[in-house]
Amino acid sequence: MNEADFGRLIKAYDMAARQHVNQRRKDKAASPYINHPVSLVTLLWEVGGVRDVNILIAAVLHDTLEDTVKQGSDEDFALQAEIRQEFGEEVLSLVKAVTDDKSLPKEERKKRQIEHAASTPPKAKLIKLADKISNVTDIAANPPKDWSLERRKEYLNWAKAVVDAAQADSPNLVARFEQVYRDGMRQLQDQHAAGI
């Protein structure tokens, strides 16, 4: 990665940190939300071997449109314009490709992720795959405090359905997902058997 690309990536981290400043993950510790995009970039870089800076930048920003502004609002359009201006049309397109339509009910959004996974642009599939790896890892190891074992199992199975439908072209990331999925299901079975 050259100096200019590294500078763009740092700028993306700054934008994501500002956008997610008041957000926390749903885990028991209420971890800072920025930890999640950091984990995606780490997975893409270390496991997936991704060196395309636009993919890495979009991974950092992947939840900004979905989780920090009301979709269709002036703030949404302003944030899209800022992403386009700072990082270019490809980055904005990748972020939009992994952004759920929050105006839809949750079950419909989940269904659409499976249905649209195969037609998602290849670069966006890598971001989606890293997102699922990160989320499955978190939900298995450090779940939201109010999630039952059944809800956690349903999430893991849904994430697997999305990953299977996507058919992302990254054997290492797919293998990592399969590993965290199996480990997560084993943890849930052990907890069920122990009555936790």
Active site positions, annotated: 66-67
CA dist 184 and 178 (Å) reads 10
Comparing CA positions, the residue from 44, 64, 69 lying closest to residue 54 is 44
CA dist 136 and 185 (Å) reads 10
CA dist 56 and 71 (Å) reads 23
Two structure tokens written together for 127: 């971001």
Q: DSSP class of residue 120?
A: S
Supply the Cα-derived Rg of the chain in whole angstroms: 17
Yes or no: say if 60 and 51 are a contact pair by the CB < 8 Å rule.
no
Please report where in the chains the tokens 């989606």 appear, as a residue: 128
